[in-house]
Amino acid sequence: MRIAVEGAGEVSALLLRAADARWMLVLAHGAGAGMSHGFMEALAEELAGVQVATLRYQFPYMEERRGAPDRPKVLTATVAAAVRAAKEAAPGLPLVAGGKSMGGRMSSQAAADGLLDGVRGLVFFGFPLHPPKQPGTKRAEHLYKVPMPMLFLQGTRDALADLKLLRPICGELEPRATLHVVETADHSFHVLKKSGRSDEEVLRELATRTTEWLEGIAI
């Protein structure tokens, strides 16, 4: 399907909805790979297996195969357009939004800007709190303006989110923020061999924890 983004043309989107779906997650990709990346496809499949439909979509720069991400205003406008498209595609399902890395951060920025009417929660698959080797919390400042519940799914080896910085932020945001930590996972949710777990098992954990959280916020 196609989604019109104000001032930025149209972008592609993929809807995956199982017959027993109970929620709709508007799922944005990260900065370096689009909606059809292996992680995004596998995650959408796992979510479908736990009754979460997904609408994946491209940001304009990825649609046009440009290297650098769009300006934040364009990115947040794209999130808002995708949310509207999801409402039309699945009007009977409660709506949540989020995404991988930058996609999750732009979803939260759109929420903080009041652009996500009807969205009941946000899910971050690796929130990029800071650039690699540049620990800081500036990227979290807008989170205090987000009105809905948020789920942070983070790996202990995530180079873009020092848990020593993220944990206190989530604590300050309680009860709206929930932090779920995946042991030995990096920003791409790859785990160390010594963990005894496969990437597929980690993806299943992400999907299962998401649906448990959805149940918990009584959507």
What tens digit of pLDDT does each residue of 7-45 get? Answer: 889 999 999 999 999 999 999 999 999 999 999 999 999
**Cα–Cα distance measured from residue 11 to residue 205, given in angstroms and rounded to the nearest whole number:** 30
CA neighbours closer than 13 Å in the CB half-sphere of residue 117: 3
Positive/negative CA dihedral, 200, 206, 207, 212: positive
The predicted-structure confidence for 109-165, as pLDDT tens digits, reads as follows: 999 999 999 999 999 999 999 999 999 999 999 999 999 999 999 999 999 999 999
C-beta separation of 11 from 47 below 8 A: no
What does the pLDDT look like over 194-217, one tens digit per residue? 888 999 999 999 999 999 999 988
Residue 51 CB partners (closer than 8 Å, separation 6+): 18, 20, 21, 22, 23, 211
**71 Cβ contact list (under 8 Å, min separation 6):** none
- 143: CATH: 3.40.50.1820
pLDDT score recorded for residue 195? 87
177-141-189 Cα angle (round to 5): 55
- What pLDDT does 19 receive? 93
Rounded average pLDDT over 154-181: 97
Amino acid sitting at position 163: L
* Count of the separate structural domains present in the chain: 1
Alpha carbon dihedral 88, 148, 17, 3, in 10-degree steps, equals: 40
Mean pLDDT value across the chain: 95
Question: Which structural domain range is residue 210 located in?
Answer: 2-216
